[in-house]
Amino acid sequence: MRRRTRGLAVTATIALALPLAACASEQGPPVLSWYTNPDAGGQAEIAQRCTEAAGGAYRIETSVLPRDAASQREQLARRLAARDASIDIMSLDPPFIPELAEPGFLAPIPPEVAAAVTEDVVQGALDGATWKDELVAIPFWANTQLLWYRKSVAKEAGLDPAKTPVTWQQVMDAAREQDKLLGVQGAKAESLTVWVNALVESAGGHVLENPEAPADELTLGLESDAGKAAAEIIGTIGRDGLGGPGLPTADENASMALFQSDRGSFMVNWPFVWSATNAAVEDGTLGSELVDDIGWALYPQVTEGEDARPPYGGINLGVGAFSAHTDLAFEAAQCIVAPENQAYYFATNGNPPASAKAYDDPEVRKAFPMADVIRESLEQAAPRPQTPYYNEVSVGLQETWHSPADVDPATTPQRSSDFITAVLRGEALL
């Protein structure tokens, strides 16, 4: 199977930040602490389901991590560096995984568990849960960006993205010719790293050529035809005003609002936009005709005829290496990621499954009519660079590829490579 790598860097000297979870009571079943990312309550519901299914073997209690990914990373890294035994299960953003796996903070997954939790799992999720060719986390839910488009705009441009893949050049031309705007994420934030990486990967390159290498040996792959192609697309959208005046601060929500406006045309974004748009229609803040005009397709191609590599995100489950109940934690994790629980989580919380089977659930297909396209996208999706030094790489990209109007294929890839390399070698600061 195709394997890739991605991650963040950690030090073992950071002080403890989160309050320690309550220990299991002396009487009754062991209590497993599951540290979750904020959601709409779906993970707590799954914890209750698995507690009931355990028949008294264990009880799962959830504890919610901070909302932003950087704070989640920091708090988990601090506690694991302190060998905190109260962390049994963690909901991990995929870029965290190499950082936590490299120093041995994640318990090794038993072979029989690995075989069970990788059956019928989409390729992007497998890639994102792997470090140095080993499964080190358990795929739970897997996210990806689609191309969302206004059917009326696509028709006017002679495009049918649902039937024939379109290129970035085609969507840029369509927006320009019809005086419309593109929904992309140009803010100096993680969303910009996601965009840059997807473009470079779609052009056949990689941001990092040797992501498993030590910091001072990492080689950037931006000074390539793929890096220049990515810079050409971002720079053109920025300089030509195709992303609107708010592009330098546009995140996923701002892109969605732009797409919903009268000048909306094409947008790359996560599946949450479907639920959010329908909710706005129900609330009366958007007209019902908007939903009828929305289509969806695979991420745009950089090179015509060559499959795109859409963004990959989501959450994987890690078991703490210092947990007193690793066997039970792996048993609980298998229950959490059961296809029926993943299907429930998608239908109710909008987070797509890592399980390919879960997409066939009737409730999923009712809530997300584009379920098949999401599943197909996840098979093609490319994780962000997997390295223990992900933070340096990601922030370095944001510093050198912002603002979009200043991105130049003749200079940006070189400048970005030089800066990130200097940071990794301790010769420059972020």
What is the per-residue pLDDT across 328-341, written as a single tens digit (0 to 9) for each?
999 999 999 999 99
Nearest 5°: CA angle at 131, between 126 and 137?
55
**Contact between residue 165 and residue 301 where contact means Cβ atoms under 8 Å apart:** yes
Q: What one-character DSSP code corresponds to residue 56?
A: T
pLDDT for the residue 59: 98
**Contact between residue 156 and residue 178 where contact means Cβ atoms under 8 Å apart:** yes
pLDDT for the residue 8: 34
Three-state DSSP class for residue 36: strand
Q: Is 37 left (phi over 0), alpha (psi -120 to 50) or beta?
A: beta
pLDDT band at residue 3 under the 50/70/90 scheme: very low
Average pLDDT over residues 20-45: 81
Would you give the end-to-end CA distance of the chain in angstroms?
35
Average pLDDT over residues 100-115: 98
pLDDT for the residue 25: 43
- Structure confidence by residue, pLDDT tens digits, 219-235: 999 999 999 999 999 99
Q: Is the pTM of this model over 0.85?
A: yes
Task: Give how far Cα 383 sits from Cα of 96, 123, 300, 389, Å.
Answer: 12, 10, 17, 15
Three-state DSSP class for residue 104: coil
Q: Is the dihedral of CA 350, 151, 306, 390 positive or negative?
A: negative
Residue whose structure tokens are 């429930």: 344
DSSP lists the bridge partners of residue 318 as 90
Q: What one-character DSSP code corresponds to residue 137?
A: S
DSSP per position, 328-371:
HHHHHHHHHT-HHHHHHHHHHH---BSBSGGGG-HHHHHH-TTH
Closest CA to 88 of 318, 311, 335: 318
pLDDT for the residue 249: 98
Dump strand ranges (E) for 145-292: 146-150, 181-183, 264-269
Closest CA to 91 of 12, 38, 163: 38
pLDDT for the residue 14: 34
Share of the chain above pLDDT 70, in %: 94
- Structure confidence by residue, pLDDT tens digits, 367-379: 999 999 999 999 9
pLDDT for the residue 179: 98
For the chain, give the longest Cα–Cα distance: 70
Average pLDDT over residues 167-186: 98
Closest CA to 385 of 337, 333, 424: 424
Q: How many CB atoms lie within 10 A of CB 68?
A: 13
Three-state DSSP class for residue 293: coil
DSSP-derived pairing of the beta strands 264-269 and 181-183? parallel
Q: What are phi and psi of 289, to 5 degrees?
A: -65, -20
Cα–Cα dist 100/189, whole Å: 22
pLDDT band at residue 70 under the 50/70/90 scheme: confident
Closest CA to 94 of 58, 140, 48, 53: 140
Average pLDDT over residues 171-180: 98
**pLDDT at residue 344 is higher than 80:** yes
